[in-house]
Amino acid sequence: MAKSNLKEQKSLKRANLKVVDNNAIKTTAYSDINLKEWKNYDHIKTDTLWEFPARLKEGGHSNEYHGNYIPQIAQQIYERFTKKNDIVLDLFFGSGTSGIEALNMQRRCIGVELKEDLAESVSEKFTPKQLVTDVNIICADSASEIAKEKILARLDVMGRKQAQLLMLHPPYDDIIKFSDKKEDLSNCSTTEEFYDLFEKVAKNGYDLLEKGRFACLIIGDKYANSQHIPLGFECMARMNKLGFITKAIIIKDMQGNERAKGKTANLWRYRALAGGFYIFKHEYVMVFQKV
């Protein structure tokens, strides 16, 4: 083998690439993207500013649940960081965006949801067969050891020891109250308690994720007591503390994910001018890797 080819293969290995013995295909170890045909992937974003004109409502998605993330994020993250039949673990399952898009893209999903009524209602979006083979919904506290044990049992049934992608879309502290449960991150008495509980959830996610694979955190900041509270960056720091390395901090325009904004826009503009702050029009999509 020529020295240049050997050198290239070593470089690819260091970059976590899998070299396939086929002149037409070159993929990473974590996606099906053919790097030989990289010019054909214009639909995949590789920059750090994401703008979507509106929430996707096709393919089984809806906007009946306030606080769910838009499907386009799952589409982008899944294609970049998973392969067909991989398992996505979502520890804040909510209305099921991660599971719906997993099915649409021939992936599988395990979702953990704290609220019993929501876990029951979201299960109706899937067929009985899909709930056995492709989408498993667990009603539990994602920070608990019980949830971890249940996830491991589901992984075993699905033929894997760990998940291949971790999705985290927690409440943005207490901005929206999602339930009355004390385990709910939106009910934390202080922001520090929110960070601590988030870290427990992320720790379970870290333990259940394959080495070398990726995690995605979707989160926004908050404004309270006349100051900006950078929830995203502290949650990132907590994930780094657990052993994740940060691969990207993406700014996503959140205007397409808001409802009834026009009714309050003028009021918030007045408040911003009077209070010396700026109105949030973005949230973060942070990408991490377990090394």
Pairing label, strands 222-224, 209-219: unpaired
Question: In whole angstroms, what is the distance from residue 213 CA to residue 215 CA?
Answer: 7
What is the helix (H) or strand (E) element at residue 289, kind and residue range? Answer: strand 282-290
Token pair of 185 as six digits: 């991150």
- Assign 8 to helix, strand or coil: helix
Task: Tell me the residue type at 67.
Answer: G
Name which of 115, 111, 239, 99 is nearest 177 in CA terms.
115
Question: In whole angstroms, what is the distance from residue 62 CA to residue 68 CA?
Answer: 10
Question: In whole angstroms, what is the distance from residue 238 CA to residue 196 CA?
Answer: 8
The model's pTM is: 0.88
What strands lie across the sheet with 135-139, from one edge to the other? 49-50, 244-253, 282-290, 209-219, 163-168, 87-90, 108-113, 135-139
Question: In whole angstroms, what is the distance from residue 60 CA to residue 104 CA?
Answer: 9
pLDDT in the model for residue 22: 66
Instruction: Per-residue pLDDT tens, the chain, 291 aa: give them.
Output: 445 455 555 554 555 555 454 678 999 999 999 999 999 999 999 999 999 987 666 655 565 655 679 999 999 999 999 999 999 999 999 999 999 999 999 999 999 999 999 999 999 999 999 999 999 999 999 999 999 999 999 999 999 999 999 999 999 998 888 888 888 899 999 999 999 999 999 999 999 999 999 999 999 999 998 899 999 999 999 999 999 999 999 999 976 544 444 556 788 889 899 999 998 889 999 999 999
Sequence-distant (6+) residues with CB within 8 A of 45 are 76
Centroid of chain to Cα 83: 16
Contact 104, 60 (CB under 8 A): yes
pLDDT in the model for residue 87: 98
Strand ranges (E), 82-241? 87-90, 108-113, 135-139, 163-168, 209-219, 222-224, 227-229
Name which of 27, 142, 13, 19 is nearest 83 in CA terms.
27
- Give Cα separations from 268 to 30, 219, 225, 273 (angstroms): 43, 21, 16, 9
pLDDT in the model for residue 268: 83
pLDDT in the model for residue 1: 45
pLDDT in the model for residue 237: 98
Phi-psi region at 199: left, alpha or beta (left = phi > 0; alpha = psi -120 to 50): alpha
Q: What is residue 259's DSSP assignment?
A: S
Q: Is the dihedral of CA 7, 10, 15, 21 positive or negative?
A: positive
- Assign 108 to helix, strand or coil: strand
Domain 49-290 CATH assignment equals 3.40.190.10: no
pLDDT in the model for residue 21: 47
What is the helix (H) or strand (E) element at residue 285, kind and residue range? Answer: strand 282-290
